[in-house]
Chains A and B, each alone.
Chain A
Amino acid sequence: MSQVNDALIHGVFDEIVKYRPALAKYLIADEDESEVDIRILADQIIKSYPWPIGVELRRLFSGSMRSLDRGRLDQLFKTIERTMQFLSFVMVIELYEEVVKKKMGIDEKFAAQFNQRFNLLSLGNFTWIIRTIGTLFEKNDVQQFMPEMRGILHENFYKGLDFWVPERNEIGHYQINLTQEEIEKRCVEYADKLTFILKQIGFITKYKLVTIREIKVKKQHHREARYLHWIDILNSSDSDFKSTEEVHDSFADSNSVLLMKSTKEPNEFLNMSPLIIDTRTEVIDSKEKFNIKKDIFMYTKFRDRKLMYVGTEVTEKCDLTNLSDYDLLVTDFERLIEKLGSLSTVNPA
């Protein structure tokens, strides 16, 4: 493997091993090897971050992205964009939970801005969401789902995010023509900046992104009901996610993508739907559904009561309006907007 990713891999792995000590074993070389296989470390990084970030890291580490060229530069942008998108979705869902469950107040200015920005997502809007909601949580002394977030949501981190916005707008969108020398320089610089962000959010590797495929009730005579959860773990280098079954006394949300503290604790989760959805559970039982790609999708746009998503493994646009619970997703989204902003401005039609 080329050395172009070595600094990022070592830097990030050293950070995440603090949160997942079990990974330390990979820092010891095998008996028959003289040094640690950095490929294994890279693989563990991919598997440790939630799938939407992990899959972009996999692409960044791939054989096609090891030259300091425009392709690598674009992939660096894509990786940071997906990372910020994921973080901003976590913040939005947390805020939604606070507003719904704990009746936290939202001021009109936020609501108006939120409507505008959440209508069509971009890198700039992700940084705005993370910064603004982070400040709101701090102001209201909110105990976040991932308590470690409080530790990073400060100016240094925000600056690290802000750095990317003009770069993305000018270079990512090809507004400025770069020479090969400038491209090479930026590849190194961006990898460094990306390493900073990934290290900052290293704690996220403690948590599990999962899909709850189904929950079944198990009730036996004269005994309390128990709940069988069929769970796909979305921390993986492969979209063929591993499945596991857990039986609990209580139950999580079904048919949803959840960020969980542990699959052993069904009550501790953030339900990422409808911002992150998993179409792999959809049964393709009619002709209209033939075009539905099976993937983890992330929300990008809401217009004319239509939700639009971008795939994580599938890189093409995909019409998801034929999903069997699509109407439910739209309703959920509208409810979210209703609580955090004003639906009329998001959906003027």
Chain B
Amino acid sequence: MNQSPFKFLDSYTKEDKDIFFGREAEVEDVYTKVFQGKILLVYGASGTGKSSLISCGLANKFQDSDWLPVEIRRGTNINDSVWQQLEKVLLTPVASSKNITVPKLLKSIYLDHFKPIFLVFDQFEELFIFGDREEWEKFINTVREVIDSDLQVRFIFIVRGEYLEYLTDFEQVLPEIFGNRIRIEKMTRTNAIHCITGPCRSAGIEVEEHFPDNLLTKLSPNKTEVELTYLQVFLDRIFKKVSEKTKEGKIIFSNALLEELGNVGDVLSQFLDEQIELIPESEKALALLKAFVSTDATKKQISMQQAAEFVKTIGQDLGEKQVDILIQELVNRRILKDKDEAGRYELRHDSIAAKIFEKITTYERDLIEVNHFITYAFGEHDKRNFLLNESDLAYIAPYETKLNLSGPVREFIEKSKAAVRKKNRSRKQFYAVLGVISFLLLTSIFGLVYSQRQKSESDKNATLAREQSAEALKQKELAEQQRVLAEQKQREADRQAKIAQEQSAIALTQKQEAERQRQLANALRVNAEEGRKAAVEEKEKADAAKLEAEKYSQLAEKNSQLANQEKENATRFRMLAIAQAMGAKASQLQDADQKVLVAQQAYIFNHQYNGYAFQPDIYNGLYAAYEAVNSDKFNTTSLHQGAVKGLIALAPNIFITAGADGKIIKADLSTNPPTVTPVDSYPYVFQCIALSADKKLIAIGSEEGKLLIYDAMTLKKVRELDVYQSALWALAFDAHKYLYTVSNDKTILRWDVGTYESTPIMITGGVVNSLSINNKDGIMAAGLSNGEVLLLKMSDNGTTQIGKVSGAKPVTKVKFNTAGTMLAIGKEDGSIVLWDVASSEISQSLTGHQAMVSDLQFSADDLFLLSASYDGTSMLWNMKSINERQVVFADHGGWVLQATFNPNGRDLTTGDALGSLRYFPLKMEFYSTDICNKIKRNMTEKEWSNFVGSDIPYQKTCDK
């Protein structure tokens, strides 16, 4: 059988030089940039051929003596992988020592080879998907160390575009990380033709005329760009088909063959489904394949054992032997790559991972998440002896029986449960102690009352004793009187004296008794006092214990409230995450009904759980659904033969455009299709347009230096002036009577719109690229080519420079907001800076655009900023939530040159390099109210289970 010249889903390597086509310009760019810094960042969407560009394109630009590539994937830990890969190219053994560092190792490698070393980190996003902070911090410090050392080493990081934001965390240690970068775009149709014809030529395959064009039309109808992975799979399919027919002789790629293949849908899904179907136990194979997909829908490298473990987490236990057999089958069917040196397998391409990810059900995803959660918690337990708490256990409980957990992990969960039970018991004990203390308190109070009563009794006795004592004294006095009387009356006296002595003895006895009683009463009183004191002390203790108990009770209540709050938050975040994932999924689905239902349900969840009103994935999902249920080009009107160079909104739904084709056109978007009325046509290439503040005049500038003034009401020309020898670059009206124009020089011309006489305003710095006027304060901003923005105070006498915003990159667009409080500055490198007028400080830097910013516009209420760029996108920034991700309108045919808001408050409008006007609803609600009307059903329960999740109660998405 003939050898295929196509790579299918594999990257091109240095040896594939003769069959690598279509990326010549990018290879040149990379080759230039690789010398411009120690770090080169290569980024772009999945499937754009970034890895091939480096491992084949760039590698072949170097002669052997100048290129020592060390290709590094993260593996299980990027720092370990760096060591392992470096040791492979090391020739002279390094003395084993703990002090050996990566720079020392690299130095020795350099001395072994005497070649510049290129450390190529492919699929660098794996570090962010699978790694933790500790891992990447160590890694980035190593990179810093290598860069700072005197070593002939360069770093090339290949990363998917959507992970670029993670790299911003590197900036503190590696400020230069974004300094030298290249974005790899999807391949254009023209270059894709080379991708077909080039390898065919090398392999001696005859290609019929128009075959490449027809193939691309079949593969990507109405698209200007081509998905390389799809192209490769399709070419492989064609080659196999022709090879089967042509056992001998010349292979011919014919148009008839394309006809024979019929309609081509999603070739990648077809390939995957066909291959899985051919495997005897296809369901198990599919379950196994899910092991090779990350939660970010990218491929991941795992060993056979890890794959076997994974399938257990989604409720299937295949056993290692069967897993091994299935893996070999998948390798043979070109879905998996054969194992690497570390024994790890992976999918052939991220695009396959994305397809498999679509097949993972929400329930499986939950199981995977729960499993990840347990694995992480188990790791923490190992490190810090942490256990799961009650809410953790509640979270995993519904899935526990489905999870196939190892012995130690089960033990860990049981231990956690035991700890929770113990904690609950302790709480009960606490309340028991509290009860005892309360009992003691009551007892003490009783004791106090009793002792009080005792004291009162003893007091009574003491009083009695005192009375008796007084009585005794009285008796004694009486006896004394009787003794005197007895002296007077001898006999009587002796008898009376005897009686008195007897009485006195009795009195003494009584007195002694009274004293004893008093002492007893005293003792009782002291005892009673001590008892009272003890009772008070006990009471105080009981009060303190009661307070403590109340405190714990309040704390427990608060914790319970917090737990409830967290539970609510967790539910909310989960639902918002589901909504976001559904929004993303809606964009990928093929079936229009499903697209609508998934996008709409995502919107409903987002709204219901108070999600971000401009969540980009949900917005894009709704847009895709809207697109699917509306006719082709439902939001596109072709106006010009060349680029739309000027766009203004005259009234709600009424726009005036000026094009590179010299035409001025009025477009009324209130009708469907829009009503297009040509206004005028000139042999000029128009460059810019502006509407006066009172909306009475329209000014248009051309590349030939012409200035045209139109009456905005009648759309009749009122003046044409020959202003410049070169292009009239930008213009702006102020609120009074002046119009300002600039060309490719350092002068601004101020025109009196009554007399049309001009006065020059000289500028220092660079050439003026853009003007914007803040009519509230009478300030004009001029964006310059040298990166500065000059702030000029305007008056009838001229202008005075009152400030300057410094910057390095050339300014391409400036725009004040309606209130005049903010100035947006667009740069050549795609960045946007927001300048706060009051504080004269940069309040925010917005990154997102990958190429020059071409237009900026604030909404009338200043709540939104709309940007357009040569990267083919326009972006909507919510000024109230500027840190949220912006909505990206990527569905343009080419460069987006103009962007503005429709005064109807509902839409935004853009003009592109292909001459088209595009319009997009501003808010999700506008899509949401429309799309349900275009379909006739709701989700089936199976669809609900697939797209939403079986544990979430079913609800009707559309009111059918």
A residues touching B (Cβ–Cβ < 8 Å)? 1, 32, 37, 39-40, 42-43, 46, 58-59, 61-65, 71, 75, 237-240, 242, 284-285, 290-295, 313-316
Are B38 and A240 neighbours in the complex by a CB distance under 8 Å? Answer: yes
How far, in Å, is A29 (CB) from chain B's closest CB?
A: 13
Evaluate whether A1 and B95 lie within 8 angstroms (CB atoms) in the complex, with A291-B32, A316-B61 already known: no
Which residues of the partner chain A approach B65 to less than 8 Å between Cβ atoms? Answer: 58-59, 62-65, 75
Q: How far is the CA of A285 from the CA of B111 in the complex (A)?
A: 37
A-B contact pairs, 27 of them (CB 8 A): A1-B91, A1-B92, A39-B92, A39-B112, A40-B111, A42-B114, A46-B114, A59-B63, A62-B66, A62-B115, A63-B68, A71-B64, A238-B116, A238-B150, A238-B151, A239-B116, A290-B29, A291-B28, A292-B32, A293-B32, A293-B35, A294-B32, A295-B35, A313-B66, A314-B35, A315-B66, A316-B31
Q: Does B152 sit within 8 A of A, measured CB to CB?
A: yes
- The smallest beta-carbon distance between B669 and chain A, in angstroms, is 35
7 nearest A-B residue pairs (beta carbon) = A64-B64, A39-B111, A62-B65, A59-B65, A62-B114, A238-B152, A63-B113
Interface: B36 (CB within 8 A): yes
- Chain A residue numbers with a CB within 8 Å of B116 are 238-239
Q: List residues of B (72-115) whose CB comes within 8 Å of A's CBs.
A: 91-92, 95, 110-115
- In the complex formed, the residue of A with least CB distance to B828 is A285
Q: Using Cβ atoms and an 8 Å threshold, which residues of chain A touch B95? A: 32
Specify which chain A residues have a CB less than 8 angstroms from the CB of B28 in the assembled complex.
291
A-side interface mostly = loop
- Smallest CB gap from B152: residue in A: A238
- Assess whether A63 is in contact with B61, with CB atoms less than 8 Å apart: no
The proximity string for B residues 141-185 relative to A, scoring 1 for CB distances below 8 Å and 0 otherwise, is: 000000000111000000000000000000000000000000000
Chain B 115-139 near chain A by CB (<8 Å), digits 1 or 0 = 1100000000000000000000000
Closest to A240 in B: B38
Please measure, in the bound complex, the distance between the C-alpha atom of A43 and the C-alpha atom of B112, giving whole angstroms.
10
Residues of B within 8 A of A40 (CB): 111
Question: Could you say which residues of chain B place their CB within 8 Å of the CB of A240?
Answer: 38, 152
- Given contacts A62-B65, A71-B64, 4 further A-B pairs with CB under 8 A are A1-B91, A75-B65, A237-B110, A293-B32
Residues from chain B with Cβ under 8 Å of A71 in the complex: 64
How far is it, in angstroms, between the C-alpha of A62 and the C-alpha of B110 when the chains are bound? Answer: 9
Docked-complex contact B66 and A294, CB < 8 angstroms: no
Taken together as a complex, chains A and B put the C-alpha atoms of A154 and B31 apart, in Å, by 43
Distance (whole angstroms) from the CB of A75 to the closest CB of chain B: 7
B22: interface (CB < 8 Å): no
Residues on B close to A: CB < 8 A? 28-29, 31-32, 35-36, 38, 61-66, 68, 91-92, 95, 110-116, 150-152, 810
- What CA separation (Å) do A71 and B115 show in the bound complex? 15
Question: Are A313 and B35 interface neighbours, CB within 8 A?
Answer: yes
With beta carbons under 8 angstroms apart, the residue of A43, A65, A295 that contacts B111 is: A43
- Is A315 a contact partner of B63 (Cβ separation < 8 A)? yes
Residues of A within 8 A of B29 (CB): 290
Of all chain B residues, the one with the shortest Cβ separation from A72 is: B65
- Contact indicator A59/B66 (Cβ below 8 Å): yes
CB distance from B451 to the nearest CB of A (A): 90
The distance from the CB of B505 to the nearest CB of chain A, in whole angstroms, is: 119
Residue of B nearest to A64 (CB): B64
Whole-angstrom distance between the alpha carbons of A90 and B116 in the complex? 28
Q: Is A237 in contact with B152, judged by CB distance below 8 angstroms?
A: yes
Residues of B within 8 A of A291 (CB): 28, 32
What residue of chain A has the Cβ atom nearest to residue B68's Cβ? A63
Contacts of B115 in A (CB 8 A): 62-64
Give the complex CA separation of A249 and B64 in angstroms.
46
Which residues of chain B have C-beta atoms less than 8 A from A58's C-beta? 65, 114
Residue of A nearest to B810 (CB): A285
Given A315-B66, A316-B61; A239-B92 close (CB under 8 Å): no
Please tell me if the beta carbons of A1 and B66 are within 8 angstroms of each other in the complex. no
Contact partners of A32 in chain B: CB under 8 A: 95
Residues on B with beta carbons closer than 8 Å to the beta carbon of A65? 65
Point out the residues of chain B lying under 8 angstroms from A284, CB to CB.
36
Contacting residues, chain B, for A46 (C-beta < 8 A): 114
Q: Chain A nearest CB: distance from B28 CB in Å? A: 7
Complex: A37 Cα to B32 Cα, angstroms: 35
A43 and B92 alpha carbons, distance in the complex (Å): 15
Task: Give the distance to chain A from B439, nearest Cβ to Cβ, in Å.
Answer: 79
Instruction: Quote the shortest CB–CB distance from B97 to chain A (angstroms).
Output: 9
Residues of chain B with a CB closer than 8 A to A314's CB = 35
| Whole-angstrom CA separation of A294 from B65 in the bound complex | 19
A119–B115 alpha-carbon span in the complex (Å) = 33
Most buried by A among B35, B62, B110, B151: B35
Q: How far is the CB of A211 from chain B (nearest CB, A)?
A: 15
CA distance A40 to B114 in the complex (A): 11
Cβ of A331 to closest chain B Cβ, rounded Å? 25
CA distance A301 to B36 in the complex (A): 26
- B23, chain A: closest CB distance, angstroms: 16
Q: Which residues of B contact A315 (CB under 8 A)?
A: 62-63, 66
Q: How far is the CB of B785 from chain A (nearest CB, A)?
A: 9
Cα A61 to Cα B91 in complex, Å, equals 15
Shortest Cβ gap from A55 to chain B (Å): 9
B29's nearest neighbour on chain A, judged by CB, is A290
A287 nearest CB across to chain B (Å): 10
**Residues on the B chain within 8 Å of A62, using CB:** 64-66, 113-115
Nearest CB in chain B to that of A42: its residue: B114
Minimal Cβ-Cβ distance residue in A for B38: A240
* Cα–Cα distance between A295 and B151 once the two chains are bound (Å): 17
Complex formed: what's the CA distance from A32 to B100 in Å? 15
Tell me, in angstroms, the Cα distance from A291 to B29 when the chains sit together: 7
